[in-house]
Amino acid sequence: MDKKVILLADVKGVGHKDDVVNVSVGYAANYLLPQHLAIDATPERIASLTKRKSALSQEKEVALTRAQELAAKLSGQSITVKAKATPQGRLYGAITPEEIVEAIGRQLGITLDKKVISTDEPIKALGVYSISLKLNPKVVAAISVTVTEAI
């Protein structure tokens, strides 16, 4: 005999968080429910879960649309970052994601979080670099960062 439960966390071999699954009565009563890994799947809880999943998917669609619009604005843009350098063109330190985000905000008027910036390697010399901005798991924009010497 099976019991229908809603998982509150990922359970290996059973399912993922917010899945409605059928498990044996003993497994539910002796493990999932006491460990707070699941709750009984009543019609009200299933309806509430469905409503929450629907709202969440709409939020994800809105976030994806915003990220795509932002990517369209940012793609192909170029910013300049000034830094102190040696006569050979090596920087004293490296250009940080915070500095790049600050330059984007100052020069393009777009506020971003430093976590969106992904560089393959640290920027430690003068020159032009292509930087990827991961605006959403499905949306990536590329901008050009020119590092010039601060005088």
Delimiting residues of CATH 3.40.5.10 domain(s) in the chain: 2-62
pLDDT in tens, 60-95: 999 999 999 998 988 888 999 999 989 888 998 889
Instruction: Please give the CATH architecture assigned to the domain spanning 70-149.
Output: Roll (3.10)
Q: Where are the alpha helices (DSSP H) in 1-151?
A: 25-27, 43-74, 97-108
Predicted local confidence at residue 118, as pLDDT: 80
Residue 75 has a pLDDT of: 86
- Segments of the chain scoring below 70 in pLDDT: none
Contacts of 107 (CB under 8 A, 6+ apart): 79, 80
Residue intervals in the chain for CATH 3.10.430.100: 70-149
Q: Do 70 and 141 contact (CB within 8 A), yes or no?
A: yes
CATH code 3.40.5.10 for 2-62: yes
